[in-house]
Amino acid sequence: MGHLGSGSRSSGNVPAPIKGGLKLTSLQLGVLTTCGVTADGDGYCWGMNGSGELGIGSKNPEESLEPMKVVDGHKWKSISPGVAVTCGVTTDDRGFCWGGNAWGERGDGAFPSPDVTSPVPVTGSLAFQSIDADWCTCGVADGVAYCWGPGEEGCVGDGGRVNRGVPTRVAGQP
């Protein structure tokens, strides 16, 4: 599925360079997408793009076998691909997500809503230290855990079993 970022579909059992000679300071693997951040804070993603999860401003191509730069000029601390959604934290601690939003996993408010192919801000004025996208999306802001997305499955952690489209404080924290 292009997870190696080498420009080829072939798999390998030894390390191979990522196409384009990128020197990444962080790398995160999702189910179908991989993203990394360079020392200059530029974000790159590759793999599947059916919901816009590469963040390149388009769903075309549907899949990239090599790194493509995330649009909108943000400088990133980290980028985390999930299931049809990708989220990241900028160097100024702002949270952004892009891709699908069937259950609120983008954290930008109302859902379900159409896919977005460029970073959109996570709702609220939280200063994020980290965000991890998966099926649900969770982040740490000011030392407090927040989650959003398909809460019906219990992954928001507020005890409500309700889907949440905005960061929701995880229960049981001081």
* 3 inside domain: no
- Domains held by the chain: number: 1
Mean pLDDT computed over 74-86 = 97
- DSSP 8-state assignment for residue 10: -
145, part of any domain? no
* Unique residue bearing structure tokens 């949270």: 95
- Whether 35 and 87 have beta carbons less than 8 Å apart is answered as no
Q: Is residue 153 part of a domain?
A: no
Query: Can you give the pLDDT at residue 10?
Result: 64
| Residue 110 structure tokens | 């109302």
| Least confident range of 8-17, 59-68, 93-102, 129-138 | 8-17
For residue 6, the model assigns a pLDDT of 57
Model pTM score = 0.93
What percent of the chain is modeled with pLDDT above 90? 83
Is 4 domain-assigned? no
Q: Report yes or no: 137 and 123 within 8 Å, Cβ to Cβ.
A: no
Structural domain containing residue 91: 24-135
* Residue 130 or 3, more confident: 130
Residues contacting residue 4 through CB under 8 Å, at least 6 positions apart: 11, 12, 16, 18
CA 80 – CA 64 distance, rounded (Å): 17
Summarize pLDDT for 92-123 with one digit per residue, the tens.
999 999 999 999 999 999 999 999 999 999 99
Residue 44: which pLDDT band, with cuts at 50, 70 and 90? very high
Distance CA 136, CA 11 (A): 29
Residue 79 lies in a domain: yes
Does 71 fall in a domain? yes
